[in-house]
Each structure stands twice: as C-alpha cells, then as structure tokens.
Amino acid sequence: MSTSGGSADDLTRRSGAALGAALRSGEVSAREVIEAHLELAERQNPALNAWLTLDRDGALAAADEADRKLTAARRDRAALDGLHPLLGLPVALKDLVSVRGVQCTAGSRILEGYLAPYDAHITERLRDAGAVILGKTNMDEFAMGSSTEHSAFGPTANPWALDRVPGGSSGGSASAVAAFHVPYSIGTDTGGSIRQPAALTGIVGLKPTYGRVSRYGIVAFASSLDQIGPFGRDVRDAAAVLHAVAGRDPRDSTSAPVPVPDELLALADDDEAAASLRGKRLGLPREYFVAGMEPGVEARVRQAVAALEAAGATVEEVSLPHTDYGLATYYIVAPAEASANLARYDGIRYGPRLGDGDTLGNYLRTRGEGFGAEVKRRIMLGTYALSAGYYDAYYLKAQKVRTLIKGDFDALFEAGFDALVAPTSPTVAFPMGARMADPVSMYLSDACTLPVNMAGLPGLSIPCGLSDGLPVGLQLIGPAWSELELLRLGRGYEALTADAEWRGAEPAELALADNPATRGPSAGRPVPA
C-alpha cells in the first residue's frame, strides 16, 4: 500500500521509523497518527478481540503533549535529533503491565475491576520516551497458554485467519501489531510467549536476556523465567522499543546493571546489513526440528538458513543434548513458581471478593470462581511439586536439569558460535479449539522456545515466509546480553529478503475484520451477521 499520503490507512501501514520521520518533518501531527490508529483498533476489535482496554482520552492527551514537544524541538535541529524515536507514536501493553489508574486484569476474572495504583517501570520508560499508550491487550490468563484462548475475556483471533489462534500468551499484543493497530507493542515471554505469537502472526518479537528489562509493576507468572520484550513489524522498530524500556531499575533485584547500547537506534541499511552476515558462524540445533513439525515450516526455515549461507554466513549443525528434557523441566519450574506467586489472589487485596460467609469460605469461592481451568491446573501441579516429600524429587531435580540446559548453550557460544538459528514454532497458527482438550499438545507449541527461557538467554523471532498462506518464524538465539548482535543478524536477513514476494503479503482476513458485521472469534470461523 502506498505511504505517500496522509490518509488513515497510509499512516497505520507505515513502520514506526517512517512515522517518526513524518512527525519530525511536520508532515503529520501526533494527534493525526494516534487518531488513525485508534479508529482502526476500535473498528476491528469486535472481530479480533485483541484489546481489553482502549484509552482514547489518555492517548489523545499524550499525543497533544508530543505535538507540543515536536513543535518546540523543530526550532533547533539538535533538539529535534535528540528526541527519542518513539515520541508521539502508539504502543500497546499486554494487560499485565501496570498503568496507573487503568484496569490490569492479566486476562483473569480474579483481577477484573482492579485499577493499578502505580506505573510499571516499563510504563515509566515509555512515557519518558514520549510513546503514546493506546491501551491494554488480551492475553492468556496470567500468561499461562500458547494460544490466547485461555483469556477470561474470550480468545483473540489471528488477522491472517480469523478462525485460527495468534499464539500466546501475548496474542493480543501480537495481533494488534499484525493488524496495523499499532507499530509496536509489549509482551512478556516465560516460555515463548513473545516469540511464538510473533511467528504465528508474521511479525518480529524479541525476548531479551533475563534481567535486561525490569519486571517491576508486571503481574508475575514465574519469576525466574518472565521477561518483558517488544513486538514490531520490523527489526528496527523492535530495537527502538528495547532501547526505551531496557536498563537497570533498583526496584527489581533481578534487573542487571548492563548498559543499553545506543546502537540499537542505528541499525544498518540494507546493503550494509546484508554484507554484515559474511563471516558469521551460526549453529543449527538438530533437536529443534522436532517430531510433528509441519513440512512447510521446516522448508521455510531451511530456505532461510540457505539464504544466510549464500550471504556468507557459515552454518553448522550442532547439538543441544538436553533439549528433550526442556519441556518437562519447564512444566515443573514454572508451575511451582506460579503456585507461590498466585497465592496473593485471595479476594481481599485485589479484584472481586466472592461469598458472604467466613474468611476461608470467601477465599475458596473467590479462587474457585476467579481462576480459569488452566491456571488451576498449573497451581495444583506447582503445589504438588513443592510439597513435602516431592520437592527434592521434582523441583530440585528440575533446577539441576535447568543448569544442564544452560550448559549446552554456553558450550556452543564458548566454542565460537555467534548465534544459533532454529524454527520458532513447529507449526503455523492452528485452528481455535484444536488443542484446548489436550493440554500436552498445547504445551508442545513452545518446544522450540522454552529452553531459551530456562537458560535466561535472548531470542529473536523474525518472519521467514509463508506455509499454506500462514506465517512462519525463524528464531535467532544468542549469548547473554547479545540483543544488539541478534537484531543486527535479523536486520541482515530482512535485507536479504527485502524483495521476496511474501514480504508484501498482508494478513489475509483484515477485510473480514474490517466488516462491522463480523462476529468475534470463536471455535468456528467468524462470519458476518
């Protein structure tokens, strides 16, 4: 679609970087940009259910403030150049990020009506950069899921096919970016919940190194695994968001005092980016081509690997021998930590209080009716793993295996590999309802992503083509604190494939989502009323 004019459609189709340039030149105002994105999100949300909250008044007030800053800065070129690239641009937050005075549900009825009394660290950082928070997006309840079907407020649809899932748990954030409602959004990744939905919706998603981004003000799932990260429609946009939100926060003891490189805002143009791939040494883990991987997915990933080799990178098959234990280990560690974190939801301090009997009765009814089935399942699994007589047999042993998983990655990076390249998801987006009756099948959706969380490493998912008309993701994994290098590799692959036919494809069912008569997502295909 042309981006030469200033129509609403043109504005929503532009990248964040292109919108930022238009704002600085005075071609458009921040209010025009925000109004265009709000109008599209409001029009399509009945079909997609990507948003739980849209804050029109707050967003327009923030846009007007951004316009005042832009007007003042245009008098001084140095001041204009000093503005953050996110100034005046819309961003979506997953609905477990605290925004003062705005509802924060984490996709659960047990937090319905809870208004956050303070801003999360990343909310503060985005405001400092001048980004405009459009609203809060749908998610699997307490981030427990791989499809955004476990939200208490209904599933989110994938704009590529409205009868298919967008992945999860950050499916609302991914769907909002893929449908052009925002150029960027924020998700969280505990076992793949940024990278997997990025792959299934055809966008870029980055899970940073554990500790790179503060978790202060984020509703916790598994504290040793959760990490906040960006979605964007291209690598440069994801890098700009990371630059804004990363950095040390004294309120989070796991937040690392590691500098945030300004080079995140200066990724190379196509020719230089493609040339930078020459001489890179990449590992291709054989264990990530798992049983059940769709042939079309494997074909697209191997074509991407061939393109990297043709550009001068060396790709070697490698082994991560403890990968097969990753799924079992994750589903002991994560539920155990969730069991502890979710104990605070007692019907007294947060959200609704159900029942009018004694304190214990109210507690049991509130948790019984407030939590969904998947959350209850994981609380029970985690409580069992932590119980007397089973802690050593399960949780302690899982932590030892976790160390072995991390050791596999460390050995390869110490051997001189710059990064590992692998599939992000073994399948394309699957139909709604297809895995709801089989939790293990749903858990296998993250088989290629969760080892990275167990090791605390950064991982980047970038689009690498289509299979049966649906997006496929390529995953890049690096050593700790190597986000800049991963983004440069991703930018190089973008440059190599800039002219590929699939790059010009838009989500196939946006026109259906645009129809106000289209019903919301369900197990069957949405149809006009």
Rounded distance between C-alpha atoms, residue 170 and residue 474, angstroms:
18
Catalytic, 193? Answer yes
SS3 187: strand
φ, ψ of residue 392 to 5 degrees: the values are -65, -40
Q: Which of 98, 108, 185, 193 is catalytic?
A: 193
At 470, the amino acid letter reads: L
Conformation bin of residue 429: beta by default, left when phi > 0, alpha when psi is -120 to 50: beta
22 in Cβ contact with 14 (< 8 Å):
yes
- DSSP secondary structure string for all residues of 428-477: SPPBTTSSTT-HHHHHGGGTTTHHHHHHT--EEEEEEEEETTEEEEEEEE
| Token pair 């009716």 in the structure block, residue | 369
Cis peptide before 169 (omega within 30 of 0): yes
The closest of 152, 200, 164 to 525, measured between CA atoms, is: 164
- In sequence order, what are the residues at sequence separation of 6 or more whose Cβ sits closer than 8 angstroms to the Cβ of residue 493? 277, 304, 307, 308, 462, 464, 474
- DSSP secondary structure string for all residues of 341-404: HGGG-SSSSSS----SS-HHHHHHHHHHHHS-HHHHHHHHHHHHHHSTTTIIIIIIHHHHHHHH
196 in Cβ contact with 424 (< 8 Å):
yes
Rounded distance between C-alpha atoms, residue 504 and residue 1, angstroms:
9
Q: Which of 146, 151, 169, 175 is catalytic?
A: 169
SS (H, E, C) 495-508: HHCCCCHHHHCCCC
The closest of 330, 350, 275, 348 to 113, measured between CA atoms, is: 350
Pairing of strands 51-54, 132-137: antiparallel
Distances (CA, A) of 418 to 449, 478, 481: 18, 7, 12
Catalytic, 441? Answer no
Q: Which of 29, 94, 147, 339 is catalytic?
A: 94
Catalytic, 280? Answer no
φ, ψ of residue 459 to 5 degrees: the values are -140, 140
Torsion, CA 286, CA 287, CA 291, CA 297, rounded to 10: -60
What is the CA 424 to chain-centroid distance, rounded? 13
Active site residues: 94, 169, 193
